[in-house]
Copies of this chain bind each other. A is one copy, B any other.
Amino acid sequence: MGIVTADITTTVDGFGAAADQSFEHPFGSLDHLRLHAWQIDHRDDNPDEAAGILRAGAFIMGRNMFSPGRGEWDLAWRGWWGEEPPYRAPVFVLTHHEREPLEMAGGTTFHFVTGGIEDALDRAREAAGDANVAIAGGASTVNAYLAAGLIDELRWHVAPLVSGLTEGSRLFEGVPSSDLVPVASRTTPYVTHLTYRRT
């Protein structure tokens, strides 16, 4: 059986997004281009880490990562990634609002899970078979799985900027006091990659 991984990019102070997310500003007032410069402009410095994000047999993401909308679904919304998303595997979207599965080109199908994080993980594990399940984000979803002790390997990509924020989606927020096992770190000009395993 595979393991459960999570990839998340944050500022040095742990923010993955500001609170004021919208269609125009998917990360709110947090500067997405600075936060994700390592993936957008400097991917050649970070080929393994960038590819690793998509190396899984199934994915789980929070509703707020899938959609700028809240509440009842706007069925015209089909995700941020166009008609052929890069996941090429089942993606389980955590939500409080039921919706039929959404089959996209290239192998990605979005499944909408209203049964909570453990139900989503059960379904993702079954779909992944022997491959890993990846928690794709955002930070709040990673926190929920960390708090439940369900992440085997956390790959924290720390962008070299201070957010200046006081609220938003922040890694480790609400996670109870706990130990991690530091496994690896690597610094490139636009990101530091930190890998932790659970104890």
Among A25-64, those with CB < 8 Å from B are 31, 34
Contacts of A177 in B (CB 8 A): 31, 161-165
CB–CB B191/A182 < 8 A: yes
Distance of A164 Cα from B189 Cα, bound (Å): 30
Assuming the contacts A164-B175, A185-B185, A185-B186, asked whether A180 and B12 have C-beta atoms less than 8 A apart, the reply is yes
Contact B187 A164 (CB under 8 A): no
A13 interface contact, C-beta 8 A: yes
Contact between chains at A13 and B171 (CB < 8 Å): yes
Partner of A34, one of B172, B175, B179, B190: B179
Number of this chain's copies in the complex: 2
How many interface residues does chain A have, given as a range? 35 or more
- Nearest-neighbor residue (CB-CB) of A171 within chain B: B13
Q: Can you name 26 A-B residue pairings with CB atoms under 8 Å?
A: A12-B156, A12-B196, A13-B171, A13-B172, A13-B173, A31-B177, A146-B162, A158-B194, A161-B177, A161-B180, A162-B172, A162-B175, A162-B176, A162-B178, A163-B177, A164-B177, A182-B188, A182-B189, A183-B187, A184-B187, A185-B185, A185-B186, A185-B187, A185-B192, A185-B194, A187-B194
